[in-house]
Amino acid sequence: MDLTYRPRRLRRSPAIRSMVREHSLNAADFIYPLFVHDGKDVQAISAMPGANRWSMDALIGEVERAWALGVRCVVLFPKVDEALKTEDGAECFNERGLIPRAIKAVKKEFPEMTVMTDVALDPYSSDGHDGIVSSSGIVLNDETIEFLCRQAVVQAQAGADLIGPSDMMDGRVGAIRESLDEEGFEHVGIISYTAKYSSAYYGPFRVALDSAPRADSQKPIPKDKSTYQMDPANAREAITEAQLDEQEGADILMVKPGLAYMDIIYRLRQESELPIAAYNVSGEYAMVKAAAERGWIDEKSVVLETLLSFKRAGADLILTYHACDAAHWLSKG
């Protein structure tokens, strides 16, 4: 055949393929989500094989493992005792609460590890929503933001490097930025859950934190989070959210979930010069784990291909429960 162009010329050996490879993965690309609780034991999470709720002591050991593998950022999520949950979620800004103590513990042992936090009320709420639910069943926006600002400041005081508002209330990024600055935390960044969709992929996470919306005989509780999280049918709306978050002072924009929303990652990459993060969420993780346990897929190959696809779509950072496994595999070549 008389062919001028033969793309296979650049695929014929590992060395050539590595020379022309457009994207790559590195352990420093990963943000490792860790669940922490106030007990003394390490609790396996049934819906997320390989993931655990860590005691405070065990948390430090897991952070040490992540650091040794090259992971440079962890994000902390609390499994809050039921006795501490209230309708307004006020435990979220308790200076002696679980997350402030966990931040301090991690920063004491690993001061160079970047610590990201989650800002929302659902782990602390007896209603299971990211915001305060009114007596008529409305998730209140402005009243919630006041609590989120107090939560963010307490986390910054404890030593957090990145504040992650995951609640999807309107205007919360700007309000949190202003609150942090007023308290002298201009150096603390905001990694905003910019395009967080009302997704079915969050199920295992809600098992891990026991944070799903709950029925209440005293008032109507919305059964899902669709009045504040984004409609999965919408893409252009994500650009609006990104523009608002940039204007309000976000430092990093996040898309959640990741795998089913590659087009949103790509759109935001085209629209913004800010770093983009993708959240490889619990449902995506659990599906891979379940298929691997049954021998239907090769876990290492599928995980690394999936994480690489986030980079190809335009993500700079990836929140993933696979972080330590992926970092280990990458180190072995």
Give the model's pLDDT for residue 60. Answer: 97
Does 214 have pLDDT greater than 90?
no
Q: How large is the average pLDDT for residues 28-54?
A: 96
Domain boundaries, the chain: 23-332
- Convert the pLDDT of each residue in 131-167 to its tens digit: 999 999 999 999 999 999 999 999 999 999 999 999 9
Q: How large is the average pLDDT for residues 257-271?
A: 97
- Active-site annotation holder among 79, 107, 256, 289: 256
Does 271 have pLDDT greater than 90?
yes
Give the model's pLDDT for residue 217. Answer: 62
- Active-site annotation holder among 196, 225, 289, 311: 196
Would you call 256 a catalytic residue per the annotation? yes
pTM listed for this prediction: 0.95
CA distance 249 to 173: 7
**Topology (CATH) of 23-332:** TIM Barrel (3.20.20)
